[in-house]
Amino acid sequence: MDMKRLAIGTLVGVVTMHIVGYLMFDLATVSFYNANDAAAATFNREVNLQWSIGLGNLALAALLALCLTNRAGPSTIAGGLLTGAVVGFLVWFGVDFTFYGYQSRWSLTLIFVDPLLGAIQMGIGGAVLAAVLARVTGGASMRPAE
């Protein structure tokens, strides 16, 4: 495990995912989410906690960086985009349906749309992360002869 590449990938991923997530979920689709949230008025915070979203993105970016740094061969933007999209879709499909099983807040439409938006967010994160990792030389594990 190359810890330098993992750390750089995680940091790049969290910054990208936070910016893309803010644009997608706090600006572009906020009315769609509110329209499909039965409990929007009582449960949703008036102002989102950006530090908590950032910490959440840090964990998901670490997962994405682990996936990309463990892949064989050099990082490519297309590979990062595809990996990020698959991971994002599976993560949010699994999480959304689990929450939907317990809670009645969201409509079923939202449960199907949210993983697709999550795939776009993490796909962009994966592409940027891969583009940066392609320019980062490996650590000790990649330079045994030096």
Partner 1 sequence: MDMKRLAIGTIVGGITLFAVGYVIFDVATASFYAENLIDVDSAYRDTPDHLLQALGNLALGALVTLGILSRPGTPTVTSGLLTGALIGFLVWLGADLTLVSLTNVWNSIIVFIDPLFEGLHHGIAGAVIAAVLARVPNSAMRSAE
Residues forming the site for partner 1 (CB under 8 A) = 39, 42-45, 48-53, 55-60, 62-63, 66-67, 70-71, 86-87, 89-105, 111, 115
DSSP state of 75: -
Query: Residue type for 50, please?
Result: Q
Query: Which is closer to partner 1, CB of 78 or CB of 146?
Result: 78
- What's phi and psi for 106, nearest 5 deg? -95, 155
If you ran DSSP here, which 8-state letter would residue 88 be given?
H
Closest by alpha carbon to 24, among 86, 67, 68, 88? 88
Cβ closest to partner 1, residue 87 vs residue 132: 87
Q: Which is nearer to partner 1, 52 or 140 (CB)?
A: 52
Q: How far is the CB of 99 from partner 1 (least distance, A)?
A: 7
CB 17 within 8 A of CB 57: yes
Distances (CA, A) of 60 to 1, 14, 65, 76, 87: 18, 8, 9, 20, 9
Q: Minimal distance in Å, beta carbon 146 to partner 1?
A: 23
Q: Which is nearer to partner 1, 108 or 134 (CB)?
A: 108
Q: How far is the CB of 127 from partner 1 (least distance, A)?
A: 18
Give least dist CB 93 to partner 1, A.
Answer: 4
Of 2 and 96, which CB lies nearer to partner 1 in the complex structure?
96
- Tokens 């959304």 sit on residue: 96
Query: From the CB of 66, what's the least distance to partner 1, in Å?
Result: 7
